[in-house]
Homo-oligomer: A and B are copies of this chain.
C-alpha cells in the first residue's frame, strides 16, 4: 500500500522530494548492502519498457546481444593506461573463493586458504574483458564490424549514493563495436548517440542536447565522448547517455589486429556506448510534481486506470457491464489498462495512489455517469478533469495519450529554453551560475580554464553542442579565442 503522507514540495527541498518520491511511488529503495538498491516491481516495469524500446532500436542498427563475464582480472585494468586512471580505483575486489564455518562457532568466516592467485574486479565497465575476447574473434576484415551489446549489472564503489542517480551497483547496457576504419567507427558512435537522443525525446519525453564532451569529461580511454544532456526541473544538468569513439586504444592494449583487404595488418577501431538505470532518475526529475510521478504514456506501466464509483454490489455490477468491455477493447489496442474495482480503499484514496504513481489517464464512472452516458476523465500531466461522453471514449483515450506524451515533452523543452542563457562575462557567469539552468558561454578550449571555472563555481562543461550558434568569440574566463559557445552547468 502506498504511503499517503504528502511529499515534501519541490520548492521546499528538491532533493528530499526526489528521495521521498522514489520510495513512495514504489520505484526503488535502499537495500541492506551499502549503496546497492532494490528496484521494486513498479520501477522495474518502467525499466523493462526502457530496455525493450532501446533493444529494438539497437537491433535495427545491426546490434546483437551477448554476455561477457562479471569479473575482470585485476591485471586487465592496467593494460590501458588512461582507462586504469579513470576507473580502477573504487571498485569491488574479489580476493577469496570460499567461506568456512568459524572455528569459534560464530557463523561463517572467509577461508584464508582460498585466496585467489590474482584478484578479480567486479566490472565497472567491460571494455577490457570484451577486447580480450574480441582478440579471438577478429582476424580479417571479413570478421568486421562486430556490433555487440550486453544488458547487465556493473559496480562502482561510490561513496555518496542516491537511488537511481548514483548507486554502487546499477543496471545498464553497454555496446562495444569493432570496425575496420576510423571513419566507420566515428560514424557508428554518432549513430548510437542519435539512437539515444531519439529514444529520450520520443519515448521518455525528455528533450536533450547532443554534443561532444570536453577532454576533461571524456571517458577514460576514449578519443571522443559524445553525450546527451538533459535539464532537470531544478535547472541542473544530467548526462543521460554517452557514446565513445575509442580509436585504437583498446585494440592496441589487447593487441587486436586484422588483415585488411589489402593484406596488411592494422589495429581495429572501437566504440562503446551506454545508458543506465540513471535514466530513471532523469525521468523522475524531468516530469514529476508535488503530487508524485508524472509518466509519459510511452513508458507508463499503467497507461489508463479505470475506477468504478460504487457503494453496493449491484451498482458495481451495473458499472462493470460498461467498464469491462471498455477495458478489453483498450487492451486489444495495446493500451496498458488496469481496472480497480476493489472495495478496500475509497475512491479518493485510489485517486491519490494513481496520481503518486503517475498513471497518465484516470477514468472514473459512478451511477450518475451511467444514467447520463458519461465518464469522468482526469489527466495526470495537467491535473485537469472533465466529464465526457462514453460513446467515443476509446478514440478520446487514444488521442489523449498522444497529447499527454507531446505535452510533457513540450513542457520540458519550454522549461529548458526558458532556463538557458547566454553569458558573456566572468562576473555575469558567477552570478548566473547560482541560478538554475544552462549557461551558453565562450571557452578557450583548455582543460586548465575548465578546471579553474569548476574550482570556483562547481560548474562543468556539459557538452560542446552540435547544434545552435557556431559564432566564434572570446573565453569568458581568459578572453582568449573561442570557436563556439559551450554549455556550462551544475550537474548531477
Point out residues on A near B: beta carbons under 8 Å.
1, 29, 31-33, 36-41, 44-45, 47-48, 64-78, 84, 88-100, 107-108, 110, 119-122, 129, 132-133, 136, 142-143, 148, 152-153, 155, 157, 169, 171, 344
Contacts and interface: CB of A to CB of B under 8 A. Distances in A.
- Interface centre among A67, A72, A129, by most chain B C-beta atoms within 10 angstroms, is A67
B169 A71 contact: yes
Contact of A107 (B44, B75, B120): B75
Contacts of A122: 70, 94, 122
Given A88-B99, A99-B93, A152-B153, A70 B107 contact: no
**Residue from the set A32, A48, A107 with the largest chain B CB neighbour count within 10 Å:** A32
A44 B67 contact: yes
Nearest to A68: B38
Copies of this chain, how many? 2
Given A37-B69, A44-B66, A91-B99, A32 B108 contact: no
Given A41-B66, A77-B108, A95 B98 contact: no
Contacts of A1: 142-143
Given A33-B120, A94-B92, A94-B94, A99 B70 contact: no
Contact of A129 (B32, B64, B98): B32
Closest 8 CB pairs of A and B: A78-B107, A41-B64, A36-B69, A39-B67, A93-B96, A97-B157, A95-B95, A92-B94
Given A32-B132, A91-B97, A95-B110, 10 more contacts: A31-B133, A32-B73, A32-B133, A33-B71, A44-B65, A70-B122, A74-B99, A74-B107, A89-B100, A91-B99
B38 A70 contact: no
A75 B107 CA distance: 7
A100 to B, nearest CB: 7
Most-contacted residue by chain B among A47, A70, A129, A171 (CB, 10 A): A70
A76 B33 CA distance: 11
